[in-house]
């Protein structure tokens, strides 16, 4: 008799939007990996539906809206009885972890970190401090290459880091998209390696010919405007990088695409300067394939960058910073240029835009990097093997993670009482 399918419950911070963000794309890759195993998946979220939400039901994934601070979730998860619960970012583990443990104590608890938000936030604060002290600075080399010890010192005293790393301890396995962040957690914060699994973007390297150099034109930048690093990059391009490119290429055009475009972004639209704010791209890969260069001058951030992976998929060389390339490459050639100042970024962009031979080599470097580092035929099975091994040895795995057990005991009690107090208060209104 065939055993019942593994039941998976995903508790999403938002409903996945793979065409709006790398986080949404990675979530869909994880879900598709589960589907290849024949697993029975339910995706739930307390968030409102977004404009560009993926149609999960057409993939055979059940959808369920849930509420914060409401015991109706207990009834729902008790009836579902999942074997695996995946928390999409640490805030969902904080909200629902105690309920999952109470109702389904034997379910494997997995955290999809997306990126280390505490690292991203600490870098953002460091950038703000730098700009306050050096308002005219266009060279950020001092910010881009700190040692991991410095990154740890930057994060260690923040509430966000304590919350996020506590959630990692409370879960059985955390999916890490960046191996640099794994090193930061294990080497500096002393998180046990057994609690972390490297799960980068999972793709197939393209085999078809790319759109050639002669059939491409213009520069492109793309990213969700709600993501603070993307908005900061747009401002840096507008104020510093793009004017330097236009000085050398007076006819150059920059097309900026992004979901959830705010009025402050559309206000930057200036065709006379070749600076075009284009709103959301219906087909991001199509516009990427038509561009000659992808610009990604990120001054802070964490995780790995979906826009740069998409650029490789489309054979579009990129110009970025060490923040943009972090966690995306080891010893392989970078499919473009990495620079640390506005003048250097602009010079690299102009040179690569005009040099066909270098451009073609960068295009091929991207194809090779995808095949070497992001092969879904390697990372998909590795993810399944990790989860299955952890499930088969769950009691010992948890026994070895006493810190996590201790944090669950204390944190979940306080979270439980606060949640029950809020629910009781809401009922009295």
Give the total residue count for the chain.
Answer: 429
**Residue ranges of the chain assigned to CATH 3.40.50.2000:** 7-118+148-202+376-428, 213-373
The answer to whether the beta carbons of residues 311 and 335 sit under 8 Å apart is yes
Predicted local confidence at residue 35, as pLDDT: 97
The residue whose two tokens read 């992808």 is 294
Three-state secondary-structure class, residue 139: strand
Integer CA distances (angstroms), 309 to 111, 127, 160, 241, 394, in order: 23, 25, 28, 22, 34
Superfamily in which the 7-118+148-202+376-428 domain is placed by CATH:
Glycogen Phosphorylase B; (3.40.50.2000)
- Sign of the Cα torsion 94, 419, 31, 89 reads negative
Of 366, 371, 372, 259, nearest to 311 (Cα)?
366
Distance CA 242, CA 353 (A): 14
Predicted local confidence at residue 333, as pLDDT: 96
The residue whose two tokens read 């629902």 is 96
Would you identify the CATH topology of the domain 213-373? Rossmann fold (3.40.50)
Give pLDDT < 70 ranges for the chain. Answer: 1-2, 411-421, 428-429
- Give DSSP secondary structure letters for 352-418: HHH-HHHHHHHHHHHHHHHHHH-BHHHHHHHHHHHHHHHHHTHHHHHHT-HHHHHHHHHHHHHHHHH
């Amino acid at each position: 008799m065939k055993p019942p399918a593994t039941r998976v419950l995903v508790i999403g911070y938002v409903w996945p939007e793979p065409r709006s963000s790398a986080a949404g794309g990675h979530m869909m890759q994880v879900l598709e990996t589960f589907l290849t195993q024949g697993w029975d998946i339910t995706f739930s979220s307390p968030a409102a539906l977004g404009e560009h939400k993926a149609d999960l039901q057409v993939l055979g994934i059940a959808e369920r809206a849930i509420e914060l601070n409401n015991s109706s979730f207990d009834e729902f998860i008790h009836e579902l009885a999942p074997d695996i619960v995946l928390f999409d970012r640490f805030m969902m583990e904080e909200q629902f972890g105690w309920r999952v443990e109470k109702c389904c104590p034997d379910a494997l608890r997995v955290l999809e970190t997306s990126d280390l938000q505490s690292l991203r936030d600490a870098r953002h604060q460091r950038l703000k401090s730098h700009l306050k002290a050096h308002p005219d600075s266009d060279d950020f080399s001092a910010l881009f290459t700190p040692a991991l010890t410095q990154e740890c010192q930057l994060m260690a005293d923040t509430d966000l880091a304590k919350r996020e790393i506590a959630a990692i301890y409370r879960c059985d396995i955390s999916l890490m998209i960046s191996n640099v962040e794994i090193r930061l957690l294990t080497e500096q914060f002393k998180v046990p390696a057994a609690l972390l699994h490297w799960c980068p973007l999972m793709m197939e390297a393209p085999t078809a010919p790319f759109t050639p150099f002669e059939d491409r034109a213009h520069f492109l930048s793309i990213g969700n405007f709600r993501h603070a690093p993307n908005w900061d990059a747009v401002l840096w391009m507008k104020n510093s990088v793009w004017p330097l490119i236009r000085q050398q290429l007076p006819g150059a055009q920059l097309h900026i695409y992004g979901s959830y475009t705010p009025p402050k972004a559309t206000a930057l639209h200036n065709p006379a300067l070749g600076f075009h704010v284009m709103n959301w791209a219906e087909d991001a890969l199509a516009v990427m394939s038509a561009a000659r260069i992808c610009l990604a001058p990120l001054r802070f951030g964490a995780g790995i960058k979906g826009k740069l992976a998409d650029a490789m998929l489309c054979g579009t060389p990129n110009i970025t910073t060490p923040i943009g390339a972090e966690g995306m490459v080891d010893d392989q050639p970078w499919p473009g240029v990495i620079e640390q100042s506005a003048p250097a970024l602009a010079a690299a962009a102009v040179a690569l835009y005009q040099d066909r031979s270098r451009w073609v080599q960068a295009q091929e470097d991207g194809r090779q990097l995808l095949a070497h580092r992001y092969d879904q035929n390697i990372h998909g099975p590795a993810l399944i093997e990790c989860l299955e091994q952890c499930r088969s040895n769950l009691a010992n795995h948890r026994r070895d993670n006493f810190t996590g057990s201790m944090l669950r005991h204390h944190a979940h009690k306080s979270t439980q009482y606060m949640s029950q107090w809020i629910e009781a208060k809401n009922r009295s209104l």
